[in-house]
Amino acid sequence: MGQVTCEGAWYGKADPFGEQTLAVLSFRYANGKEPHILVVGIDQPNGGLAVDAVVEEVKFLDDLGLSPAEPGVVAGRVLDAFELGDRIMGAQVADTLAAVRPLAIARALAVPGLVRQAPDGTMADFHDLPDVPGAREAFEKLAEFVGERPLWWSPARVSQFLTSWLPREAILSDPVVAAMPEVVRAWSRFNGAHPAVLHQIDVDAPRLPALMADESLAGLGKRIARQHL
């Protein structure tokens, strides 16, 4: 397909809840002609595998609303996403992915300064913790839950965190439990402020103290940790 130069990169949500992210790289041939972009859709709920890819004209980028990113990091994420998909049998991907896959990998490999397994820095950019006791520890638990896919923040994921993961996994003091809803609201406002997400917090947050006090919901790891405290 000819020698190309990478001219930029972008990364961000493909949908309001970040259930897919888009990794975009722009290229131009060595003679300066035919600028184009590679767009790879990366699934978040299933671990970050590539589920679709297209090659488009640069103007296609105008409609995506993505933030500029480091090309080597974005190219590394593209390669990581395809590699993960290769390891998962029966992964649900778009029918069109197979035809674009060889070109997408070749384009990503052509980007200098590749960074593989780069952490997502979204959590580090959050600086709006509520000024209440326990907020820092509450945010640390939230960061542990979202892990390496912080852009994925849907009503279902909020509900899982507040009603399932915290009662099963976390040992929290009363101030941290009290601070958690405000911390989750602050993070949600930072991560798009989607009304459905904020509504889900209002639905689930009042139940948190009772759920945290219910010993029957604690997982094995939490029970063992309590014995050592």
d(CA 94, CA 101): 11
pLDDT per residue as tens digits for the range 42-88: 999 989 999 999 999 999 999 898 999 999 999 999 999 999 998 88
Crossing angle (nearest 10°) for helices 135-146 and 174-190: 60
Enter the tokens of residue 155.
Answer: 């009503």
Nearest CA among 197, 131, 204 for reference residue 166: 204
Enter the tokens of residue 159.
Answer: 């509900």
The average confidence (pLDDT) of the chain is 94
- What integer pLDDT is reported at residue 90 of this predicted model? 80
pLDDT per residue as tens digits for the range 199-217: 999 999 999 999 999 999 9
With cut-offs at 50, 70 and 90, classify the pLDDT of residue 227: confident
With cut-offs at 50, 70 and 90, classify the pLDDT of residue 161: very high
Enter the tokens of residue 170.
Answer: 């976390």
Alpha-carbon distances, residue 114 vs 43, 109, 202 (angstroms) = 21, 8, 42
Q: Is 206 helix (H, G, I), strand (E, B) or coil?
A: helix
pTM surpassing 0.75? yes
Residue 100: which H helix or E strand, with range?
helix 97-109
- What integer pLDDT is reported at residue 149 of this predicted model? 93
Q: Using the predicted structure, report yes or no on whether residue 1 has a pLDDT greater than 60.
A: no
Q: Is 89 helix (H, G, I), strand (E, B) or coil?
A: coil
Q: Using the predicted structure, report yes or no on whether residue 32 has a pLDDT greater than 80.
A: no
d(CA 35, CA 13): 23
